[in-house]
Amino acid sequence: MVQVTRTVAEIRDEVRMARRAGRRVGLVPTMGFLHEGHLSLIRRAAAECDLVIVSIFVNPTQFNDAADLEAYPRNEERDVTLAATAGATTVFAPPVEEVYPKGFATSVQLRGPITETFEGAVRGPEHFWGVATVVTKLFGMVQPDVAYFGQKDAQQCVVVTRLVADLDLAVELVICPTVRESDGLAMSSRNVRLRGDDRDRALALIDGLDAAGAAVRAGETDGAEIERVATKAMLARGVDADYVAVVDPTTLAPLARVDGRALLVVAAHVGPVRLIDNAILEGI
């Protein structure tokens, strides 16, 4: 049976004992409402670690919109069962006061384009500062050997990678591929809020990524033209993108030319939901 731990003191004890026994400790940070995307991270952690801790914490500091935080889906009981089935040994589900006790005063803030562009432009850099703060705290609480993140949130991966390097955190990062529904929609806890036609229109994102990928394979190297192709494919589904951009995968700086590895990031509002997706483009 999987253990559900709610306090920092208890998770520390558990990790201390495991480490003393020479066991490798893996952490999969999540906000819960687990789906196959999360489970792929947990399975990977279970294959590589002895103690597999799945944290479930809907982090208030990374929400720029109180209504979005309120609407965020939750089902801890189901999450615990799913996490256990995928190989988790511990679910760490602290209450908000355990993570942000009275008097809490610290914020981890990365400067520059990685927190200010794309999601950081739409939601404000505070979103990524909230992510950076909670990830730093989770690493401090759990002190894992390795932590697992999903490529689905490409900008988050860039931010966390930078954070770990900048603060010399002794955590190995593993970035896992995006898990999709059979029709290509990237799995997300927010997808449950897509109703009726919106579920079909949500395919605009994968259509845009696919069209761009095909253009690159056909020899297109011009960043602006690749963006145009993706935007057009999204519009064909009736979706006007928030952004479509060909960027450097580590700095998120715009790329005029794709002649190596590039990242294509897309975001759009579909009905009541804001969706993001991305693909790696391999230019020749």
- Among this protein's residues, is 38 annotated catalytic? yes
Find the shortest distance in angstroms from Cβ 259 to ligand AMP: 28
Closest residue (Cβ) to ligand AMP? 150
Nearer to ligand AMP, 81 or 228 (CB): 81
Considering only residues 70 through 99, tell me which ones interact with ligand AMP, judged by CB under 6 A: none
Indicate whether 37 belongs to the interface with ligand AMP (CB under 6 A). Answer: yes
Distance between CA atoms of residues 56 and 168, nearest Å: 25
Q: Which of 11, 15, 41, 49 binds ligand AMP (CB under 6 A)?
A: 41
Helices (H), 185-222: 197-201, 204-217
d(CA 187, CA 180): 5
Q: Which of 186, 202, 255, 263 binds ligand AMP (CB under 6 A)?
A: 186
178 lines the binding site for ligand AMP (CB under 6 A): yes
As measured in angstroms, the least distance from the Cβ of 150 to ligand AMP is: 2
- Could you tell me how many residues of this chain bind ligand AMP (CB under 6 A)? 17
Q: How many whole angstroms separate alpha carbon 137 and alpha carbon 160?
A: 12
CB of 142 to ligand AMP, least distance (A): 15
Q: What is the DSSP string of 92-140?
A: E---HHHHS-TT--------SHHHHSTHHHHS-HHHHHHHHHHHHHHHH
Q: According to the binding rule CB under 6 A, does residue 265 interact with ligand AMP? A: no
Distance CA 115, CA 127 (A): 8
In angstroms, give the least distance from the CB of 31 to ligand AMP. 4
150 near ligand AMP, judged by CB under 6 A? yes
Tell whether residue 45 is a contact of ligand AMP (CB under 6 A). no
Residue whose entry in the numeric block shows the structure tokens 């988790």: 88
Spatial distance between the Cα atoms of 189 and 212, rounded to a whole number of angstroms: 26
Contact between 179 and ligand AMP by CB under 6 A: the answer reads yes
Check residue 243 and give left, alpha or beta (phi > 0: left; psi -120 to 50: alpha): beta
Catalytic residue numbers, as ranges: 38
Which residues are at the interface with ligand AMP (CB under 6 A)? 30-31, 37-38, 40-41, 149-150, 152-153, 176, 178-179, 186-189
